[in-house]
Structure 1
Amino acid sequence: MMWQDAFRKPDVERGGAAQPLYPVMLESPELRWAFIRKVYSIISFQLLVTLVVAAIVVFVHPVTKFFVATSGGLALYILLILAPFVVLCPLYYYHQSYPVNYILLGIFTIALGFAVGLTCAFTSGKVIFESVILTTAVVVSLTLYTYWAAKRGHDFNFLGPFLFGALFALIIFALIQMFVPLGKIGVMIYGVLATIIFCGYLIYDTDDLIKRYTYDEYIWASIALYLDIINLFLSILTIFRATE
């Protein structure tokens, strides 16, 4: 198959016999592609669940009103914001235990879906549509680029320390924004920086998906790429909202 050839290169010394492109890949290309298909299937389901949950929050107005106008709704909103971080702890322990890993992943995804929905509930439909279209274009193009670069032997593992440092700086910037608002310009700068960082993470995590994740780590691979896509969408949404 053409996809499988992306992981092989000719070995002149052996008369052109195909060898694995990356020494770190211990399994066959067939198994690696099965793993990649499994991860993208999980991500597709996560995005579908997120879309459905967010649409319910946005279009069913009593739901939004409950979260915003009642003390119980506000407490539930805070709980939903914290839930993904809390779920990650048992998910780390049970990520290879079926079906517990899928149940925890479902809770994680639904909680983030509510958070995304509540963010979109106070955003115009035009901005949401533009953000979805641009996010889709960026995700597809960067994913294709990473596979193209991987086929030619490029490696993006060096991005890890830089992205971690940039993400830490972004979190500090967000905390400063909470206590010392910098206005629309500050929000736009935050959105642009976040977009660049999560574009980098999308390349980095896709590169890991191709080369470094083991077959049993499909849950972690799915979470990493799913978070990249969601955070990229929210970052682009922040930029468009600041320009309104």
Structure 2
Amino acid sequence: MTQGKLSVNNKPTNSDGQQGNEEKKDNATAPSAPPTYEEATLGERTKAGALSPPMTVPLHPSWAYVDPSTSPNYGSGGYPGDTEMLTTFSWDDKNVRRVFIRKVYSILMLQLFITVGVVALFTFCEPVKGYIQSNPGWYWASYAVFFITYLILACCSGPRRHYPWNLILLGIFTLSMAYLTGMLSSYYNTKSVLLCLMITALVCLSVTIFSFQTKFDFTSCQGVLFVLLMVLFFSGIVLAVMLPFRYVPWLHAIYAVLGAIVFTLFLAFDTQLLMGNRRYAMSPEEYVFGALNIYLDIIYIFSFFLQIFGSSRD
């Protein structure tokens, strides 16, 4: 009995002892925190003799970030250490811009050839000259077509960029503007028209070459050009109001000189928009709009030169 009691009484003690031992064993065998990469591979790297720390990749690598303040534009410098990639992309950008400029001036040459042909027809052919002067309704019709097509091409990017509607609208615009220019030229002496054509060609060629070579940025002078254009616009309104009452030759001469200067500056402005390495640049998709602007500048310069140097027919 005593032994049984002792044995019974000893069981909890033994069980508690076993539980304590098991807790100690559990504490001894409990897994610790997982080792780091350096600790796990320390032995292998020690055997291999490579004790350098592992290469870490930053969350935002430096090669994936471009500082906007140091990003190059067309024709500027490049990113340091990226010469090969920069050369490729820079060549592609310049090639796109070069194709764009070639396309604009090809369209412009075609427009100018059509206009010169219409001006020559209206100036040298007496029957055609007499017909257009005796039917001014065609002048106002062509002016309406010119105004509508210009608004569509200038204000609507869809028709202006969608082939072939952009070229069709530009062709209609060119024909209407050529008719207006030819009818204006028919009222002047033939020698005066030829002289003004030569002067316009020389001025436009020299301004184009100067705009491509100079370091002066005409695209940053938008405010000055806008002010000059407003002065020209309101001066034209005043002259249109005064014309039915009295014709003032010197006032019209000043207006023509101002108009020639303003649109010569606009020609330099529009030319530098095509280059792509100035403060403002034109998108390569806007080749129709670029040709339209330069064509209008040249036509306006010719018309103002005609008012300055031209002599009317008897």
Query: TM-score, normalization: structure 2?
Result: 0.66
Code of the aligned partner of 2:229: L
Q: Which residue of 1 aligns with 2:141?
A: 79
The match for 2:237 among 175, 184, 187 is 175
* 2:75 is the counterpart of 1:8: yes
Map Cα deviations across residues 44-90 of structure 1 (whole Å, 9 max, x no partner): 00001111122222223233322322xxx222211112221111233
- Report the alpha carbon displacement of residue 117 of structure 1 after superposing the two structures with TM: 0.7
* 2:133 is the counterpart of 1:63: no
Per mean C-alpha deviation after superposition, the further-off stretch among 96-105 and 38-47 is 96-105
Contact 2:188 2:312 in 1 (8 A): no
Q: 1:205 to 1:123 in 2, by over 3 A?
A: same
- Report the alpha carbon displacement of residue 242 of structure 1 after superposing the two structures with TM: 6.7
Structure 1 gaps, min length 5: 1-6
Code of the aligned partner of 1:49: I
* 2:96 is the counterpart of 1:34: no
Per mean C-alpha deviation after superposition, the further-off stretch among 174-183 and 47-56 is 174-183
The match for 1:53 among 118, 125, 149 is 118
Code of the aligned partner of 1:8: G
Once residues 243 and 15 of structure 1 are traced to their aligned partners in structure 2, the CA distance between those partners, rounded to angstroms, is 64
Contact 1:202 1:229 in 2 (8 A): yes
Code of the aligned partner of 1:161: G
Structure 2 gaps, min length 5: 1-73
Map Cα deviations across residues 173-222 of structure 1 (whole Å, 9 max, x no partner): 11211221452101110111011101110111011111211111000000
The match for 2:221 among 159, 165, 183 is 159
Aligned-residue Cα RMSD (Å) equals 2.6
For the residue of structure 2 that corresponds to 1:215, the secondary structure is coil
Q: 1:101 to 1:179 in 2, by over 3 A?
A: same
Once residues 147 and 125 of structure 2 are traced to their aligned partners in structure 1, the CA distance between those partners, rounded to angstroms, is 26
Q: Which residue of 1 aligns with 2:303?
A: 234
Once residues 188 and 209 of structure 1 are traced to their aligned partners in structure 2, the CA distance between those partners, rounded to angstroms, is 32
For the residue of structure 1 that corresponds to 2:103, the secondary structure is helix
Once residues 310 and 196 of structure 2 are traced to their aligned partners in structure 1, the CA distance between those partners, rounded to angstroms, is 10
Contact 1:58 1:120 in 2 (8 A): yes
Per mean C-alpha deviation after superposition, the further-off stretch among 104-113 and 131-140 is 131-140
Once residues 157 and 26 of structure 1 are traced to their aligned partners in structure 2, the CA distance between those partners, rounded to angstroms, is 24
Once residues 243 and 188 of structure 1 are traced to their aligned partners in structure 2, the CA distance between those partners, rounded to angstroms, is 14
Query: TM-score, normalization: structure 1?
Result: 0.84
* 2:162 is the counterpart of 1:97: yes
Once residues 208 and 243 of structure 1 are traced to their aligned partners in structure 2, the CA distance between those partners, rounded to angstroms, is 37
Contact 1:9 1:19 in 2 (8 A): no
Q: How many residues align?
A: 228
- Report the alpha carbon displacement of residue 128 of structure 1 after superposing the two structures with TM: 1.3
* 2:269 is the counterpart of 1:224: no
Q: Which residue of 2 aligns with 1:3?
A: none
Per mean C-alpha deviation after superposition, the further-off stretch among 51-60 and 208-217 is 51-60
For the residue of structure 2 that corresponds to 1:95, the secondary structure is helix
> How high is the sequence identity, in percent, across the aligned residues?
28
Once residues 262 and 92 of structure 2 are traced to their aligned partners in structure 1, the CA distance between those partners, rounded to angstroms, is 31
Q: Which residue of 2 aligns with 1:134?
A: 199
Contact 2:211 2:271 in 1 (8 A): yes
Contact 1:38 1:218 in 2 (8 A): yes
Q: 1:217 to 1:15 in 2, by over 3 A?
A: closer
Q: Which residue of 1 aligns with 2:3?
A: none
Select the structure that is richer in helix: 1
Once residues 135 and 193 of structure 1 are traced to their aligned partners in structure 2, the CA distance between those partners, rounded to angstroms, is 15
